[in-house]
Structure 1
């Protein structure tokens, strides 16, 4: 789900305005842990497809007050004022009408279904793990995924004819 949203966002950038490095600050919850195989596989594919370095920076446990997303949730909860969210329409409407620092969010319903329990084999994850640069002593707190070079570029760097 999260990588699909990155793909959507990526399309909104003009090619010359696309970043060369994407930093994702995350809370290290189970959905986006750097040990979650499907998450890391999809991020690596995104990195390769778009030739972008991805840096994952995880907030330490119990430091949610520094996470802007947590502050956003607080604003959203205050905006709801304890109303019962008893329909999708009501929930989407309340989310659309809130503002955080004067900015209204873009809200839409995602209709795609995602299977749960999808993971890589241990062998596949070991292969993927070779691609990750984990900071010493902070292996799960800071991870860099560097894109692989497209075949033509890597051959040129190796001095092979294309």
Structure 2
């Protein structure tokens, strides 16, 4: 071998693993011919026996192929062996998840070992390490505690979550609509600073008002959302006045006529998952009165399941819809109602989230009093389990008799 080529060959030789070195030395000895083994032995410090073994392996092509793992060989991914594992894992996680509404990440209070045990009980043999990898691929993450819950101690909290989960499954199995409703925080409309950053030319930040005085803006925007859990679609009714029970129910009404009626033409029932407080609260009489009006109008039975006090962040609309709206308009001043509608309507996700939005210019009256007599006229049936949080409103008796 020429000195330059020889040095280059030796450099490459020393980067190889044991088997590759043996075959490379054997190939070079064969290439040299007579006296090749002796020359290669001197260059590589390999024994004659090892080089001779390499020559035999090169000649025995079938044996060599067994030693070299083919592309795609090796242990198959568990998801290729058992396609149900991802679906079963999602079922477990959906029963035990919560999310920070400002983040797209989900978290679980179950350990990977416990989840692995549950999957094994279902006949899916999987290690806790594999569970960890699958959760990471599905955007779950381990998170510490965050002080967000109120002081109220709801002794029936766990029971209520189990009940909500059971009702949601039952409605979806029967292809009946299930919606999650809530209002996003009130936003000032105008050239005001919005938390976050957007891409702009260097040293050219968007200039906004240095004070958030209401007089400098166009008004306020109150986004009330309705999220269809089954279809992964949402509707946002953007109010300009007050957040009242009538406004909250009107958001559901708008969703029904724009999306719900089209997606569920044969629907006889509607399940509404809502918080326990504010305008759609479990004790709000005006909320129930307006739901009665809606039931009469669309001729559908409406069942409401409230989340226990202090658990609003478990509401699916928070981390499946509102979080993405916040991320879509972060750093962008909400200069006009038209801009707000466009930003909401153009919010989407990799999983295909679609949102429609409209501007509600109606003025709503605050502090409407509902008498006991009016309350008695509501065709309402309370569930035996946590009746204050679970009830069904059907068409009024007067309307049914007509």
Q: Normalised by the size of structure 1, how large is the TM-score?
A: 0.76
Summarize the alignment of residues 1-162 of structure 1 with structure 2, pairs less than 5 Å apart: 1-12=247-258, 13=261, 17-71=265-319, 72-100=321-349, 101-125=351-375, 127-128=376-377, 131-136=379-384, 138-148=386-396, 150-152=400-402
Gaps of 5+ in 2: 1-246
Q: How far apart, in 1, do the equivalents of 2:365 and 2:338 lie? A: 24
Structure 1 residue 35: Cα displacement:
2.0
CA offsets 1:5-55 (integer angstroms, 9 cap, x no match): 3333444526x9241111001012211013212211111122233332110
Q: How far apart, in 1, do the equivalents of 2:325 and 2:254 lie? A: 23
Q: Kindly report the root-mean-square deviation, in angstroms, between the aligned alpha carbons of the 2 structures.
A: 2.5
Alpha carbons of 1:9 and 1:41: their partners in 2 closer, same or farther (altered >3 Å)?
same
Q: Say whether the 8 Å CA contact 2:277–2:309 is kept in structure 1.
A: no
Matching residue of 1:155: none
Alpha carbons of 1:80 and 1:49: their partners in 2 closer, same or farther (altered >3 Å)?
closer
State the SS of the aligned residue for 2:272.
strand
Equivalent residues, number:
149
Q: Say whether the 8 Å CA contact 1:34–1:143 is kept in structure 2.
A: no
Q: How far apart, in 2, do the equivalents of 1:3 and 1:18 lie? A: 21
Larger relative contact order, structure 1 or 2 (CA cutoff 8 Å, min sep 6):
1
Gaps of 5+ in 1: 153-162
Q: How far apart, in 2, do the equivalents of 1:143 and 1:85 lie? A: 38
Question: Once structures 1 and 2 are overlaid, which stretch shifts more, 92-101 or 37-46?
Answer: 92-101
Structure 1 residue 89: Cα displacement:
2.6
Q: Say whether the 8 Å CA contact 1:23–1:54 is kept in structure 2.
A: yes
State the SS of the aligned residue for 1:108.
strand
- After the TM superposition, which segments of 4 or more aligned residues of structure 1 sit over 6 Å from their partners? none
Question: Once structures 1 and 2 are overlaid, which stretch shifts more, 83-92 or 18-27?
Answer: 83-92
Structure 1 residue 137: Cα displacement:
5.4
State the SS of the aligned residue for 2:304.
strand
State the SS of the aligned residue for 2:357.
coil
Q: Say whether the 8 Å CA contact 2:292–2:396 is kept in structure 1.
A: no
Question: Once structures 1 and 2 are overlaid, which stretch shifts more, 62-71 or 31-40?
Answer: 62-71
Structure with bigger gyration radius: 2
Q: How far apart, in 2, do the equivalents of 1:136 and 1:94 lie? A: 43
Q: How far apart, in 1, do the equivalents of 2:297 and 2:354 lie? A: 31
Q: Normalised by the size of structure 2, how large is the TM-score?
A: 0.34
Structure 1 residue 65: Cα displacement:
4.2
